[in-house]
């Protein structure tokens, strides 16, 4: 149930999970938009586990002669895994990810691909954005929090319409629910990421409700991305800070207890504060040791880590003077601040 393309100009990947719309209509809209750019386009549909309704629509497309590649995972692994499976199959130098339900006006997608002329990755920002006051407030809080903990400002990380060059995939590995934060991870690696305003689809309506566990997962995702962006290469800064704070608090409580014992004749035995202070001291030392162990691991594998991207290399011909180096290479690095 697959048909692979060779030498495509654009690889369009559509992950299909629990939420999907009318795939037949959506696929044709996507295809018309991308084919208007003039190059060859391959479509890769990734079924995140068995999806009977989606499979029926895909069979209809295949029977109508549509050329596409279909990947079906054995069970539901999540959108990040589905995208990774599509990335491994893609053959074009430009990758476009598209949701299996309406998010943006399909005719606007060409703006993202054209934006790659001056960037490595272009992400969609649905505008003007539909939704009530609660939805607007929730999105605003989420993106402001992401901006504060990562230093990267984005306005619509929930939109799955993105375009990027293949070299972005060569440096970033997705897992868990990190597909939402792909632009943040790309910017962290030094890639040039731009946000492009695209008209929101009139059919983009989420009729479900978010449960408390969904908010808890998003909070954990924010903490995860905070650690990955800030402390992946410097774990001791995070664990050392937490460990030092815990250790210092424990020492302060112990000092207070000692002062009370020496000068105020207060007993130390059978005091819960003594047990608490001792636990804080031990816990602080353990957390600090964990950060130090992380630093040792990073140091051991430092040669395998790369936290910058080379933009361009200029080569100048060898000059005749013997005092001049045979070849001068100047590089422009986009380093992670």
Domain membership of residue 323 (yes or no) is no
User: What range defines the domain where residue 279 resides?
Assistant: 235-304
Contact by Cβ (8 Å): 331, 310:
yes
If one counts every other C-beta atom within 10 angstroms of the C-beta of residue 240, the result is 20
Question: How many domains in the chain?
Answer: 2
How high is the mean pLDDT of the chain? 83
What are the pLDDT digits (tens) for 247-259? 999 999 999 988 8
Longest distance between any two alpha carbons in the chain, whole Å: 90
Spatial separation of the C-alpha atoms in residues 129 and 198, rounded to whole Å:
10
pLDDT surpasses 60 at 149? yes
Q: At what angle do helices 133-150 and 212-231 cross, to 10 degrees?
A: 20
What are the pLDDT digits (tens) for 194-236? 999 999 998 887 666 677 877 787 887 888 888 777 777 778 7
- Residue 127 φ then ψ, to 5°: -155, 135
pLDDT surpasses 70 at 133? yes
Better pLDDT: 106 or 132: 106
Mean pLDDT value of segment 265-292: 86
257 in the same domain as 225: no
What's the pLDDT at 304? 63
Domain membership of residue 74 (yes or no) is yes
Domain membership of residue 171 (yes or no) is yes
What's the pLDDT at 331? 38
**Beta-sheet strand order (sheet of 121-126):** 69-72, 41-47, 10-16, 94-97, 162-165, 121-126, 193-198
Domain membership of residue 331 (yes or no) is no
Q: Which of 79, 110, 85 is nearest to 179 (CA)?
A: 79
263 in the same domain as 179: no
243 in the same domain as 227: no
191 in the same domain as 265: no
Enumerate the β-bridge partners of residue 12: 43, 96
- As a whole-number percent, the residues of the chain with pLDDT over 90 amount to 47
pLDDT surpasses 60 at 315? no
262 in the same domain as 188: no
Of the candidate ranges 119-128, 258-267, 281-290, the one whose mean pLDDT is the lowest: 258-267
What's the pLDDT at 327? 42
What's the pLDDT at 265? 79
278 in the same domain as 199: no
Contact residues for 66 (Cβ-Cβ < 8 A; gap 6+): 27, 31, 43
165 in the same domain as 92: yes
What are the pLDDT digits (tens) for 174-184? 877 789 999 99
272 in the same domain as 208: no
End of a domain among 212, 231, 250?
231
If one counts every other C-beta atom within 10 angstroms of the C-beta of residue 333, the result is 10
Spatial separation of the C-alpha atoms in residues 93 and 164, rounded to whole Å:
9
Contact by Cβ (8 Å): 44, 11:
yes
pLDDT surpasses 60 at 300? yes
Contact residues for 1 (Cβ-Cβ < 8 A; gap 6+): 58, 62, 70, 72
Domain membership of residue 312 (yes or no) is no
End of a domain among 213, 231, 249?
231
End of a domain among 209, 231, 253?
231
In terms of DSSP H, where are the helices of 116-234? 133-150, 166-169, 182-188, 212-231
- Return the DSSP state at 200: B
Please state the pTM of the whole predicted model: 0.74
292 in the same domain as 192: no
What's the pLDDT at 303? 55
Enumerate the β-bridge partners of residue 10: 41, 94
178 in the same domain as 118: yes
Of the candidate ranges 68-77, 116-125, 307-316, the one whose mean pLDDT is the lowest: 307-316
- Residue 301 φ then ψ, to 5°: -105, 20
What are the pLDDT digits (tens) for 34-70? 999 998 999 999 999 889 999 999 999 999 999 999 9
Q: What is the CATH number of the domain that holds 31?
A: 3.90.550.10
The three-class DSSP label of residue 26 is: helix
Domain membership of residue 3 (yes or no) is no
Token representation of residue 87: 């990335």
Domain membership of residue 24 (yes or no) is yes
- Binned at pLDDT 50, 70 and 90, residue 305 comes out as low
pLDDT surpasses 90 at 333? no
pLDDT surpasses 80 at 2? no
- CA of 84: how far to CAs of 18, 44, 69, 87, 128, in Å? 17, 12, 15, 5, 30
- Binned at pLDDT 50, 70 and 90, residue 320 comes out as very low
199 in the same domain as 136: yes
Exposure of 1 in the CB half-sphere (CA atoms within 13 A): 15
Domain membership of residue 49 (yes or no) is yes
124 in the same domain as 19: yes
- Binned at pLDDT 50, 70 and 90, residue 260 comes out as confident
Of the candidate ranges 34-48, 179-193, 321-335, the one whose mean pLDDT is the lowest: 321-335
């Amino acid at each position: 149930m697959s048909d692979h393309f060779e030498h495509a100009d654009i690889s369009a990947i559509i992950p299909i999970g629990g939420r999907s719309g009318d795939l037949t209509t959506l696929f044709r809209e996507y295809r018309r938009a991308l084919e208007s750019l003039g190059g060859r386009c391959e479509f890769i549909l990734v079924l995140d586990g068995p999806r009977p309704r989606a499979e029926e629509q895909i069979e209809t497309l295949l029977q109508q002669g549509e050329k596409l590649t279909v990947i079906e995972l054995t069970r539901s692994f999540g959108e990040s895994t589905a995208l990774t499976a599509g990335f491994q199959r893609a053959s074009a130098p430009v990758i476009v990810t598209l949701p299996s339900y309406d998010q943006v006006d399909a005719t606007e997608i060409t703006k993202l691909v054209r934006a790659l002329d001056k960037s490595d990755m272009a992400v969609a920002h649905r505008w003007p954005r539909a939704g009530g006051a609660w939805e607007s407030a929730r999105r605003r809080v989420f993106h402001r929090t992401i901006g504060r903990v990562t230093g990267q400002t984005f306005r619509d990380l929930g939109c799955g319409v993105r375009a990027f060059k293949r070299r972005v995939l060569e440096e970033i590995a997705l897992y868990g629910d990190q597909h939402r934060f792909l632009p943040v991870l790309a910017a962290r690696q030094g890639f040039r990421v731009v946000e492009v305003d695209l008209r929101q689809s009139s059919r983009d309506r989420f009729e479900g409700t978010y449960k408390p566990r969904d908010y808890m997962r998003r909070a954990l995702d924010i903490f995860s991305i905070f650690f990955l962006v800030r402390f992946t290469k410097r774990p001791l800064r995070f664990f050392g800070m937490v460990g030092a704070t815990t250790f210092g608090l424990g020492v302060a409580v112990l000092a207070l207890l000692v002062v009370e014992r020496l000068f105020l004749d207060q007993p130390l035995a059978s005091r819960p504060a003594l047990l608490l202070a001792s636990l804080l001291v031990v816990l602080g030392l353990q957390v600090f040791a964990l950060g130090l162990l992380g630093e040792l691991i990073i140091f051991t594998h430092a040669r395998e880590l790369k936290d910058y991207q080379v933009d361009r290399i200029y080569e100048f011909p060898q000059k005749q003077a013997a005092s001049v180096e045979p070849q001068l290479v100047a590089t422009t690095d986009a380093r992670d601040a």
